[in-house]
Amino acid sequence: MKENILVIGSSGQIGTELLTELRKLAGDDHVIAADIKDPGTGGLFETLDVLDGHRLLSIVKKHRITQVYLLAALLSATAEKNMKLGWKLNMEGLFNVLDIARENGISKIFWPSSIAVFGPGTPRKNTPQHTIMDPSTVYGISKLAGERWCEYYFLRFGLDIRSIRYPGLIGYKSAPGGGTTDYAVHIFHEAVIRKRYECFLHENTMLPMMYMPDAIKATIDLMNAPAEKINIRSSYNVAGMSFSPLEIAAAIQKHIPEFECTYKPDYRQKIAESWPESIDDTAARNDWNWRPSYDLHSMTGDMIENISLLNEKKVTL
């Protein structure tokens, strides 16, 4: 039977790129995008606020959905500014999907967790899969609770939910929104366009990051792995690379020597300091053969090339 896939939060940073890949793999007629606003980019689309369970159910029935990717969430920085909405969207959205999935025979769900599930008590270097988890952000608390619920629904109801603890994600095709790691995307655009950037984190703040093609590959590989290989039903650690603002600025300067970066840490500094510097992803490597393809230097070259091309197109249009 052909799968019918619903991508909730399809216009976001991950959704935009995942949608393209899923449509390539499953066919345009089998992938339905859903978000609060129609981006008008074509393809099957449904307007959906994930907090509206009735609407979600009617979309699931209408398109005979068999798989759901739930990507709608408030990220770390935005959730700190809107605490109650962060909790509500991230938790009730997940419950709506889990309950509708359970009652309507949905065979597989993808739900993203984050490095934000870790906290000040967590070992910061090579953070293990199983360790102290004491998140100090609303976002991190909601993701840790979500992980526990995903595992609970798997153990109690046999729901096949799969999850990754994404690090900061970097890509040129879509804009991030409201995260602490967003600087690592903005810095590229500003470097290409204005040759300068003011970073909202301290220059030595090391964080785990990943280039978007690796994140998409990890997501699809995890979803395609045989169920018996998935030993972790909370969420998998995955690692791509780790760097500080100073290191990414230096990598950019190799391509754009006149680029200047200054540092003016704001409230996001505290969030970043509560997260790991690097991640141990042995479990993902062993269970479903996870391997990243990009490091800081290969990503930097690719980002600058593609952002420059996009800007040239804009200028000539």
Residues that bind ligand SER (CB under 6 A): 75-76, 114-116, 139, 166, 168, 179-181
Considering Cα of 252, then 293, then 164, then 174, what sign does the dihedral take?
positive
Three-state DSSP state, 261: strand
Pick between residue 6 and residue 238 the one whose CB is nearest to ligand SER.
238
| Residue 175 CB coordination number (10 Å) | 13
Q: Taking the complex as a whole, how short is the minimal distance between the CB of residue 195 and ligand SER, in angstroms? A: 25
Q: Taking the complex as a whole, how short is the minimal distance between the CB of residue 149 and ligand SER, in angstroms? A: 18
Amino acid at the residue 228: E
Pick between residue 168 and residue 171 the one whose CB is nearest to ligand SER.
168
Cα separation of 315 and 131, whole Å?
Answer: 50
Pick between residue 200 and residue 263 the one whose CB is nearest to ligand SER.
200
Which tokens is 16 given? Answer: 């935009």
Residues recorded for the chain: 317
Nearest to 205 by CA among 132, 140, 273, 281: 273
| Residue 199 near residue 245, CB atoms below 8 Å | yes
Which tokens is 288 given? Answer: 């479903």
Catalytic option among 139, 211, 236, 294:
139
Closest residue to ligand SER in the complex (CB): 179
Place of tokens 């988890």: 133
Q: Taking the complex as a whole, how short is the minimal distance between the CB of residue 148 and ligand SER, in angstroms? A: 17
| Residue 248 near residue 183, CB atoms below 8 Å | no
Which tokens is 190 given? Answer: 């500003």
Place of tokens 């399809």: 10
Q: What is the signed CA dihedral for 145, 148, 149, 155, rounded to 10 degrees? A: 180
Q: Taking the complex as a whole, how short is the minimal distance between the CB of residue 116 and ligand SER, in angstroms? A: 5
Is 139 marked active-site? yes
Q: Taking the complex as a whole, how short is the minimal distance between the CB of residue 181 and ligand SER, in angstroms? A: 4
Burial environment of residue 20 by CB neighbours within 10 A (0 to 12, 13 to 18, 19 or more)? middle
Q: Taking the complex as a whole, how short is the minimal distance between the CB of residue 65 and ligand SER, in angstroms? A: 26
Residues labelled catalytic: 139
